[in-house]
Amino acid sequence: MFLHIGNDVVIPLKDVIAILDIETTTISKDTREFLKIAEEEGFVETVSEDMPKTFIITETVDKKSKIYLTPISSVTLQKRANFLQNLSSFEL
């Protein structure tokens, strides 16, 4: 299953580690520092030119990390992820 995170970008749901609200999590200096370092090291991908509301931490099968910045709210993305997980567990 894939999670649509905006602007025709989809990511494998199995790669998602965390879906975090930027406004509430960047209150912490540690989170701001984490995002700054990740951006400097090339791990951050901005999905849209709109103001980001959420960042998504992912890790692929080959253990490569990537952080996506998206203008879609964390609540909406969490609902999509839960819907997809429920859909995949549905048995006919």
pLDDT over threshold 70, residue 90? no
Q: Is the pLDDT of residue 44 over 80?
A: yes
Given a cut of 70, whether residue 75 has pLDDT beyond it is yes
- Whether 90 maps to a domain, the answer reads no
Question: Looking at the domain assignment, is residue 18 inside a domain?
Answer: yes
Give me the mean pLDDT over the 66-76 stretch: 97
Amino acid 76: pLDDT: 96
Task: Please give the model's pTM, rounded to 2 decimal places.
Answer: 0.89
Centroid of chain to Cα 57 = 5
Q: What is the pLDDT of residue 91?
A: 55
For 17, list phi and psi in degrees, rounded to 5.
-95, -45
Q: Identify whether 20 is part of a domain.
A: yes
Tally the domains of the chain.
1
Q: Which of 23, 65, 73, 25 is nearest to 48 (CA)?
A: 73
User: Is residue 49 situated within a structural domain?
Assistant: yes
